[in-house]
Homo-oligomer: A and B are copies of this chain.
Amino acid sequence: MLKSKLFKIALSNRTRRSPFFDATVADGLEGISIYNHMVMPIWYNSSLVDYWNIVKNVTMWDVAFERQVEITGPDAFKLVTLLSPRNISKMQVGQCKYVPILDEDGGILNDPVLLRLGDNHFWLSIADSDLLLWAKGVAYGQGFDVDIIEPDVSPLAIQGPNWLPVAENLFGDWIKDLKFFHFREINLGDIPLVVARSGWSKQGGLELYLRDGSKGSELWDRVKQAGKEYDIKPATPSTIERIEGGLLSYGNDMTSEDTPYHVGLGKYCHPNQKADFIGKAALQRIQTEGVDRHLTGVVLHEEEWLYTEGWWPLYRDGIRVGDVRSAVHSPRLERNIGLAMIENDSAEPNTTLSAKTPLGFVDCTVTSIPFIEGKHQHD
């Protein structure tokens, strides 16, 4: 396997700990990153063991680093409409929607899941950038009457094909009827939750948004107990599983230099909707003109197991035509796979390219994504 240096990390208050932190450490957390100024668990046993637990059975994840930007007040709907390239005019209370957030040029600033808790009460469950500052800045400039805060809300995910019996153990019969990308506000004993049928995998499951940080260990233990007979294991969002399934990671596969049309997120944008939103003119222009490059898949023909820590340049006949943005070894496909941004002319499936990796040049074949179809799509 392509080995890289494993650094040590020291924590401080700036790298905040989640309400589940003590429980995750007790359960053997070994590897972390930092995400939204918070400790992000990234492996327990090993990325590989964690991966098999996710795709074959059921796992529980501390994803408190998915912070919420809460928007309330008389102009909340107006602000969220302005921020959202997706048409949310008919969004119901109790619904979630995946909504890329754009700047005026259509560049992606974050790709949160939007939850509507009330007519003028929203959460943006964010990826790794301070979207709160964008929302506050826009609201200030527009003079909107809103409150924008990071509330005491910390998600715990249950993910894996066997998530349902664990969820039924926890919540009872009604949970099986909760529709995909819908949520319900409930109390589990004295633990206040928003329970959503969502999660950053293609294996199915729930996200339990804990609304009282003092009850982190209690919720962790309740989920663990409910999952005991199904052999639930702690795990984390899996880079392997999400690349197999074609789920994008902000900061890895896309940045503010990319628009939704460059990374396959055009279907979540409605540039011709009636409402005005930030980036509308840019998206209308790009929709007409088209893009010159786009994100797609590559298979990397190399026996060693690969893992990207940065982008790898891609060449065709010696000419640079793009970058591999994220690559891993897929245990289910038994090959190295990656997500790559490639100029249209060289992005046709079966095109042969060459990636400059730390192991030297590796031949690649362009392919469509996802690599593995999941029955649980993003919405």
Q: How far is the CA of A8 from the CA of B41 in the complex (A)?
A: 10
Cβ contacts under 8 Å, A278 to chain B = 140
> Are A13 and B308 in contact (CB-based, < 8 A)?
yes
Q: How far is the CA of A137 from the CA of B139 in the complex (A)?
A: 8
Cβ contacts under 8 Å, A31 to chain B = 7-10
A84 within 8 A of B: no
Min CB distance, A283 to chain B, in Å?
16
Copy total for this chain: 2
Cβ contacts under 8 Å, A34 to chain B = 9, 15, 33-34
Min CB distance, A320 to chain B, in Å?
15
Cβ contacts under 8 Å, A128 to chain B = 14, 37
State which of B4, B104, B249 has its C-beta within 8 Å of the C-beta of A140. Answer: B104
Q: How far is the CA of A143 from the CA of B15 in the complex (A)?
A: 35
A270 within 8 A of B: no
Cβ contacts under 8 Å, A109 to chain B = 133
Q: How far is the CA of A98 from the CA of B34 in the complex (A)?
A: 27
Q: Which of A137-161 contact B (CB under 8 A)?
A: 137-143
Cβ contacts under 8 Å, A7 to chain B = 8-9, 11, 29-32
Cβ contacts under 8 Å, A13 to chain B = 251-252, 308-311, 325-326
Q: How far is the CA of A16 from the CA of B129 in the complex (A)?
A: 13
Cβ contacts under 8 Å, A2 to chain B = none
Known: A8-B8, A31-B10, A33-B15. A136 touches B134 (CB 8 A): yes
A131 within 8 A of B: yes
> Are A8 and B9 in contact (CB-based, < 8 A)?
yes
A12 within 8 A of B: yes
> Are B5 and A25 in contact (CB-based, < 8 A)?
yes
A6 within 8 A of B: yes
Query: Which residue of the partner chain B has the closest CB to A25?
Result: B5
A218 within 8 A of B: no
> Are A4 and B12 in contact (CB-based, < 8 A)?
no
State which of B8, B37, B137 has its C-beta within 8 Å of the C-beta of A135. Answer: B137
Min CB distance, A134 to chain B, in Å?
4
Min CB distance, A247 to chain B, in Å?
14
Q: Which of A91-139 contact B (CB under 8 A)?
A: 103-104, 109, 128-131, 133-139
30 contacts between A and B (CB under 8 A): A7-B9, A7-B29, A8-B32, A9-B9, A9-B32, A9-B33, A10-B42, A12-B239, A13-B251, A13-B252, A13-B308, A13-B309, A13-B310, A13-B311, A13-B326, A14-B249, A14-B250, A15-B34, A17-B310, A37-B128, A103-B140, A104-B140, A129-B133, A130-B134, A131-B133, A133-B134, A138-B140, A138-B141, A140-B278, A141-B143
Interface contacts beyond A12-B249, A12-B326: sample of 13 additional A-B pairs, CB < 8 Å, sorted by A: A6-B10, A7-B8, A7-B11, A9-B33, A13-B310, A16-B310, A103-B136, A130-B134, A133-B134, A134-B134, A134-B137, A137-B138, A140-B278
